[in-house]
């Protein structure tokens, strides 16, 4: 049953918000289609892509830092991270500061896969940003930034 009190406080109509939801859904579906196909061929999923992406952006990331970035539990990260290590896409090594801490890095094979996955998305973003212009790009980043901030657990 819908919460009518919540709807009364909305500044946009339900129709306008549903249009935005549909655009977000279809945009994300299209944005992830190519990487999803590559991942499926390898028996991997979007969570594997996210792990590869964040480890690739910050080599030497600790497992705890990765947990924080992804906002997931150790249990949720354990299996996909282990699969990436077993497939020689990620390597672990002890931290130079604290040998109890595991640091993560992409292998050459992991770097190649991450570039293949995220590279296709960068091409799409670059084309869309070029077509829409700097003001739309800034608005897109502002909206997604606030959305991420408001929904981050």
Q: Are 44 and 110 in contact (CB under 8 A)?
A: no
More confident residue, 145 or 153: 145
Q: Are 71 and 152 in contact (CB under 8 A)?
A: yes
**Residue 1's pLDDT band (boundaries 50, 70, 90)?**
very low
- With a CB cutoff of 8 Å and minimum separation 6, the contacts of 136 are 129
For the chain, which domains are there?
13-151 (1.10.10.10)
Residue 4 has pLDDT above 90, yes or no: no
Q: What CA–CA distances, in Å, run from 38 to 27, 41, 88, 115?
A: 18, 5, 17, 12
The per-residue pLDDT for range 10-46, each reduced to its tens digit, is 799 999 999 999 999 999 999 999 999 999 999 999 9
The per-residue pLDDT for range 60-111, each reduced to its tens digit, is 899 999 999 999 999 999 999 999 999 999 999 998 888 889 999 999 999 9
pTM: 0.87
Q: How far apart are CA 102 and CA 37, in angstroms?
A: 31
For residue 53, which of 102, 100, 118, 126 has the smallest C-alpha distance?
Answer: 118
């Amino acid at each position: 049953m819908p919460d009518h009190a919540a709807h009364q406080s909305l500044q946009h109509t339900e129709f306008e918000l549903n249009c935005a939801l549909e655009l977000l859904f279809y945009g994300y579906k299209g944005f992830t289609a190519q990487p999803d196909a590559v991942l499926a061929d390898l028996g991997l999923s979007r969570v594997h892509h996210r792990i590869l992406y964040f480890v690739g952006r910050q080599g030497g990331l600790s497992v705890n830092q990765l947990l924080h970035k992804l906002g997931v539990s150790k249990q949720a990260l354990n299996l996909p991270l282990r699969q990436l290590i077993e497939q020689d896409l990620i390597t672990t090594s002890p931290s130079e500061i604290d040998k109890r801490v595991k640091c993560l890095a992409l292998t050459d094979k992991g770097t190649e896969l991450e570039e293949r996955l995220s590279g296709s998305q960068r091409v799409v973003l670059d084309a869309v940003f070029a077509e829409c212009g700097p003001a739309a790009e800034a608005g897109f980043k502002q909206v997604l930034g606030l959305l991420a901030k408001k929904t981050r657990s």
